[in-house]
Amino acid sequence: MSLYATQDEKKQAAAQAALKHLPKGGILGVGTGSTVNFLIDLLPELQLEAAVAGSEATAQRLKKLGIEVVDMNSVGGLDAYVDGADEIDRHMHMIKGGGAALTREKIVASIAKKFVCIVDDSKWVEQLGRDFALPVEVIPMARSAVARKIVTLGGDPVYREGVVTDNGNVILDVYNLNILNALELERTLNNIPGVVTNGIFALNAASIAIVATDHGIEERTAQ
């Protein structure tokens, strides 16, 4: 029996449990996605000075709650960044970008002292990329060239039709990549000319994962 009747209840519980890991006051980096949306609704409790948003959609939600959204260029650093993940493993490496906001999210995460990842246990995996295609943000003119390079790495890239990122770029979803060394593959993909960034978050791993399971909340750190 699960403590939670629905997936949404699990996400809500993870969001609630994350609050104690986030600083009161100050400026918080906030990511994107369904689990993060539950957290955003709770953020007024933290009485934040301001937030830096990982996507336009998040910026709009924060503003509706009266939380000031500031440009990252005006901020020296962040005490914490909070976000979900499409997949996360025991090393705290993640795949993100199902919602196409990976580049902004990675940039915001890079200036935070800690990365709090909130997920339900369906996102916890033994190996990244087996079940979830890896998103890669690409400058439009380089789409075919990047796809050909990815094929030589063993991946199967598929153009995400009809999607334009907040930065005006396109997404290739890469299937069948055997991600045994996430750090190395993240660097390799980022070095392909035309790639803006890819959805592996290993160089910017999570500091802690708040995982909602059928039996309650678990706090996990890198193994």
> What are the two backbone dihedrals, phi and then psi, of residue 222, each rounded to the nearest 5 degrees?
-60, 140
| Among 94, 74, 75, 34, CA closest to 58 | 34
Domain range for 77: 7-125+203-220
213 plus 165 within the same structural domain: no
Residue from 22, 17, 109, 111 nearest 67 by CA: 22
Give me 56's structure tokens: 């336009």
Would you place residue 17 in the very low, low, confident or very high pLDDT band (cuts 50, 70, 90)? very high
Put the strands of the sheet holding 50-53 in their side by side order. Answer: 50-53, 27-30, 78-83, 112-120, 208-213, 216-220
User: Is the pLDDT reported for residue 175 higher than 90?
Assistant: yes
Determine whether 184 is an active site residue. Answer: no
| Shared-domain flag, residues 144 and 193 | yes
Backbone phi and psi for residue 169, each to the nearest 5 degrees, phi listed first = -105, 180
Whether 109 and 14 map to the same domain: the answer is yes
Residues 57-76 pLDDT 10s: 999 999 999 999 999 999 99
State whether residue 150 is helix, strand or coil. Answer: helix
d(CA 156, CA 158): 7
Verify that 29 and 108 share a domain, yes or no: yes
Q: What is the pLDDT of residues 178-218, one digit of tens each?
A: 899 999 999 999 999 999 999 999 999 999 999 999 999 99
Confidence of residue 56 (pLDDT cuts 50, 70, 90): very high
Written as six digits, the tokens of 121 are: 């246990």
Q: Which two tokens stand for residue 157?
A: 């890239």
Q: Please report, rounded to a whole number, the percentage of residues in the chain having pLDDT higher than 70.
A: 100
Return d(Cα 122, Cα 211) in angstroms, integer: 9
1: in domain: no
Cα gap 167→213, rounded to integer Å:
35
For residue 1, name the pLDDT band (cuts at 50, 70, 90).
Answer: confident
Query: Structural domain tally of the chain?
Result: 2
Give the phi and the psi of residue 111 in degrees, each rounded to 5.
-105, 10
Task: Examine residue 101 and state whether it is found in any structural domain, yes or no.
Answer: yes
Instruction: Provide the 3-class DSSP secondary structure of residue 137.
Output: strand
How far the first Cα of the chain sits from its last, in Å, is 28
List the catalytic residue out of 87, 105, 137, 186.
Answer: 105
Do 67 and 53 contact (CB within 8 A), yes or no? no
Query: CATH code at 65?
Result: 3.40.50.1360
